[in-house]
């Protein structure tokens, strides 16, 4: 039988410790620490969280229409099989050491060190503002709908599929492995350095020195801004680029095809086998 707690306020240390099979409706965690801890099978709707660490070690939970204030830092850790919808988060360092969290229609206004060491993360229509290093060390990630201006996103991520994202950042997708990005806009310097098996499909990319030191890099039907120079340095790459690129520098191997290439730098620092084919696509026209 599901218990119910409605329209109450709680503060201090662990006021709702070890509750189970409970629906929380319009409650407030006003202050203190660890308001909800070591629990299972919870629903929270229309609740507000102000104190620190309010949701730790909670398995099988649903959080809807809730607000987490700036003071609720490090709020949701070690909590498996969590579903969150229609929530606003103003606190940093959310979501750590978890399995199978699922977020939909969530806004995170301080994304500093958010989503760390998560296995099985699903994100739909989520917005991240500010902060650094969201998604560090995550595995088995699925994203469909993400807007982010946080710095250094998706570092050390493995086995991820990202769709319909607009990411404005610096140093995104570093040290990733087996990541595919579809139908997205990636804006910022030094994209995808030191990645393995990074695949970009129908993406638009801006920013200096993208996609260097990459292994097994694949691009399909991608476009680049004019500020993208010194591309593909020390990378093994197979790239189908639509439109022009400004500068390609010292790719190791593979094939790069573009409609137009401003310049190519192949100097004494190029690494062997140094046999990458660089091709300007022949334009076809129909004559009357």
pLDDT digits 0-9 by tens, 116-146: 999 999 999 999 999 999 999 999 999 999 9
User: Is 20 within a domain?
Assistant: no
Whether the ω angle into residue 273 lies within 30 degrees of 0, i.e. cis, is yes
For 175-192, write each residue's pLDDT tens digit.
Answer: 999 999 999 999 999 999
Mean pLDDT of the chain: 96
Share of the chain above pLDDT 90, in %: 96
- Domain assignment present for residue 2? The answer is no
Domain assignment of residue 9, yes or no: no
Query: Does residue 286 have a pLDDT over 60?
Result: no
- Taking the CA atoms of the chain, what radius of gyration do you get in angstroms? 23
Q: Is residue 120 part of a domain?
A: yes
Whether residue 288 is predicted with pLDDT greater than 90 in this model: the reply is: no
Half-sphere exposure of residue 43: CA atoms within 13 angstroms, side-chain side: 10
Q: Which domain holds residue 216?
A: 26-280
pLDDT at 284 over 90: no
Q: Is residue 244 situated within a structural domain?
A: yes
In a domain, 285, yes or no: no
User: Is residue 174 in some structural domain?
Assistant: yes
Which pLDDT score, from 0 to 100, does residue 287 have?
37
State mean pLDDT over 11-28: 97
By the 8 A CB rule, do 172 and 193 touch?
no
* In-domain check, residue 1: no
Write the pLDDT tens digit of every residue in 216-245: 999 999 999 999 999 999 999 999 999 999
Residue 263 clears pLDDT 80, i.e. is over it? yes
The pLDDT value given to residue 283: 57
The count of domains in the chain is 1
pLDDT digits (tens, 9 = 90+) for 7-16: 999 999 999 9
The yes-or-no verdict on residue 198 having pLDDT over 60 is yes
pLDDT-derived band at 1, boundaries 50, 70, 90: confident
Contact call for residues 86 and 106 (beta carbons, < 8 A) = yes
pTM: 0.94
Whether the per-residue pLDDT at 285 is higher than 80: the answer is no
pLDDT tens-digit readout, 147-164: 999 999 999 999 999 999
User: By CB neighbour count within 10 A (0-12 exposed, 13-18 middle, 19+ buried), where does 1 fall?
Assistant: exposed
* Mean pLDDT, residues 25-34: 95
């Amino acid at each position: 039988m599901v218990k119910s707690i409605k329209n109450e306020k709680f503060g201090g240390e662990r006021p709702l410790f070890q509750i189970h099979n409970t629906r929380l409706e319009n409650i407030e965690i006003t202050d203190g620490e660890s308001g909800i801890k070591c629990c299972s099978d919870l629903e929270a709707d229309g609740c507000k969280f102000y104190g620190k660490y309010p949701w730790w070690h909670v398995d099988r939970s649903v959080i809807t229409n809730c607000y987490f204030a700036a003071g609720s830092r490090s709020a949701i850790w070690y909590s498996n099989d969590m579903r969150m919808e229609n929530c606003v988060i103003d606190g940093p360092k959310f979501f750590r050491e978890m399995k199978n969290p699922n977020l939909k229609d969530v806004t995170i206004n301080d994304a500093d060190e958010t989503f760390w060491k998560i296995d099985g993360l699903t994100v739909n229509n989520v917005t991240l503002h500010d902060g650094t290093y969201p998604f560090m060390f995550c595995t088995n990630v699925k994203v469909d709908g993400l807007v982010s201006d946080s710095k250094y996103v998706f570092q050390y991520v493995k086995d991820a599929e990202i769709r319909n994202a607009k990411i404005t950042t610096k140093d995104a997708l570093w040290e990733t492995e087996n990541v595919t990005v579809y139908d997205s806009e990636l804006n910022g310097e030094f994209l995808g350095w030191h990645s393995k098996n990074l695949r970009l499909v129908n993406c638009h990319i801006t920013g200096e020195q993208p996609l260097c030191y990459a292994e097994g890099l694949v691009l399909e039907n991608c476009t680049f801004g004019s500020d993208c120079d010194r591309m593909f340095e020390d990378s093994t790459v197979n790239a189908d680029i639509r439109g022009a690129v400004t500068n390609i520098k010292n790719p190791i191997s593979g094939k790069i095809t573009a409609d137009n290439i401003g310049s190519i730098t192949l100097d004494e620092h190029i690494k062997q086998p140094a046999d990458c084919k660089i091709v300007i696509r022949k334009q076809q026209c129909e004559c009357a």
